[in-house]
Amino acid sequence: MRIIAGKYRGRQLAAFRGDDIRPTPDRVKESLFQILTPRLAGARVLDLFCGSGALGIEALSRGAAFVHFNDRSRESLALCEKNLRLLGAEGEITGLDYRTCLTRLSAPFDVIFCDPPYREAYAEEIMRIVAERGLLKDGVLVYESEREELPAEGWESERRSYGRTKIYFMTRSGA
């Protein structure tokens, strides 16, 4: 895994061992960030299922001011911390289940990354909590999945497909 662009461009990240973890492929990440880059200058970002931290770190590399990294896996958090140290980057890190994380956060974000395990269907609940808590300014919730994810009431969605991987750009209706 590598950082594609920005101040950490070309730097390698430590990765998970084994086949149990599914990192976002570089070609998908590159396309995703081509779309998001105009939103990242000075942005506040939440990487809700951070894994190695690759998405949040790419956002920092491209100009995000702050990233909150969260994952309930201790292995993921250790790898995320290692990657931040490798780059000399900073971010806030919590090891909470996604519901607890969303209910404890208060400051709104410009971009929220949600890359949960593909076998889980969390999108609708995440959109509901984010809306109820006002956690998304005039921004975008980016949801990665293999399944069809319909936007919850009050949300609009644009989908991009990359083989089996689908990326949903979800925004609050009227935002």
> What fold is seen in the domain 26-172?
Rossmann fold (3.40.50)
Residue appearing with tokens 């809700």: 48
Cα separation of 36 and 56, whole Å? Answer: 12
What's the whole-model pTM score?
A: 0.93
Predicted confidence pLDDT, tens digits, the chain (175 residues): 889 999 999 999 988 764 455 567 778 889 999 999 999 999 999 999 999 999 999 999 999 999 999 999 999 999 999 999 999 999 999 999 999 999 999 889 999 999 988 777 899 999 999 999 999 989 999 999 888 888 888 999 999 998 888 999 999 986 5
Contact 98, 71 (CB under 8 A): no
